[in-house]
Amino acid sequence: MDLSRTMATLLPWHNPQWTLLADACKNQRLGHALLLRGRQGFGVPQFARRLARALVCRHPMSDKRPCGICRSCSLSNAGSHPDLMIVEPDQGKASIGIVPVRRLIDALGLAPKFGGPKVAILSPAELLTREASNSLLKTLEEPPGDAVFLLVSHSAAKVPPTVRSRCQLIDFPTPCRRQACQWLAAQMPQPADVELVLDIAGGAPIRALDMMQADHLPLRGKVLESFVDVVSGQADPLEVAKLWRVSGTNEVLQWLASMAADCIKLSCAEASSRVVNRDILPALTSLAQAIAPRRFFALWDCCIQANKDHGGSAGLNDQLLLEGVAMTCTALAHPRSSSSH
């Protein structure tokens, strides 16, 4: 997604957090280290960047929005403000190591170029290695000058307690459904079932927008077809795993987990109104009627674990992960019996 476009205006579900921090700035009560925590797709990194721009702005608006026209704002927009630093995993890396953190600490020790605060964004904070976290602790405790740390986290439980304890926690809960749907509808030039896509995206508006812009719904349909073919024995699970990898490992695992959860709902309670993947309800209903729910629980567990393994290590082989899931799908194809419940 285009971050510059998203940062230009405050996302509507961010208003409470912005008001809270704007008031803290006005009253000079802003903490020197903030842990901004919210799930992926809620726009937390965009919020952090917008807040950072506001903190280095030389002429902020009355509600602390960046003016957008001063030299600081121009440099921030260009990604070249000397007092605004962003630490993220290097290309192809799954963690933030000690070297970039040490560089950040050294840079913070220098005098600010524009006379205002120095601002550092670390995103996502849960990817800091143990060595990097330990290196950061003393600076978090005693920041040089007016330095402000903005730590972004999509999984705050994975951030070391020693780091969390030194930060003010700012939570970003699931956006209001009505607000998120209105925003999504305004972003799309063509009409779309924004409620459906928002549900598939787990209530995360930015992820939903990415899905619509990437035209993921047809791709998801192909994943379902291949899933049904594997379960019915009409497709080789190893070949299907290759197709899934091309479609995107993370997306496929989330879609399959969502489909398995829907089949559990339909099999146990026939709660079609609570199904997320409503556009493929007939296919899911057929699967739920033919296969015992405990087997879908096994598939759901397999997808969730594979997703954790995929996100937790750069060295894991995506193809092997997906082959394991495909083989679990093959094992679904057993007759349903009373002993299977």
Confidence of residue 311 (pLDDT cuts 50, 70, 90): low
| Residues recorded for the chain | 341
Q: What is the mean pLDDT of residues 193-217?
A: 90
pLDDT score, position 115 = 84
Domain extents for the chain? 3-171, 215-340
Distances in Å between the Cα of 179 and the Cα atoms of 49, 185, 186, 242 are 22, 10, 11, 38
Confidence of residue 6 (pLDDT cuts 50, 70, 90): very low
First-residue to last-residue Cα distance in the chain: 44
The residue type found at 106 is: D
Beta bridge partners of residue 171, listed in sequence order? 37
| pTM to 2 decimal places | 0.85
Residue entry with tokens 């197709």: 243
What's the angle, vertex CA 214, arms to CA 152 and CA 231, rounded to 5?
A: 100
Confidence of residue 334 (pLDDT cuts 50, 70, 90): low
Q: What is the mean pLDDT of residues 302-317?
A: 75
Name the nearest CA neighbour of 185 among 209, 214, 220.
Answer: 209
Residue 248 has pLDDT above 90, yes or no: no
More confident residue, 29 or 91: 29
Q: Which of 113-122, 293-302, 331-340 has the lowest mean pLDDT?
A: 331-340
Residue 127 has pLDDT above 60, yes or no: yes
Q: Does domain 3-171 have CATH number 3.40.50.10470?
A: no
Residue entry with tokens 């709902």: 265
pLDDT score, position 213 = 86
Residues 24-56 have pLDDT tens digits of 998 989 999 999 999 999 999 999 999 999 999
Residue 272 has pLDDT above 70, yes or no: no
Q: Which residue intervals of the chain are DSSP H helices? A: 3-8, 15-26, 44-56, 71-78, 98-108, 130-141, 161-164, 177-187, 194-200, 205-213, 216-231, 237-247, 249-269, 281-290, 293-312, 318-330
Residue 172 has pLDDT above 70, yes or no: yes
Residue 112 has pLDDT above 60, yes or no: yes
Confidence of residue 307 (pLDDT cuts 50, 70, 90): confident
Domain with residues 215-340, CATH architecture: Up-down Bundle (1.20)
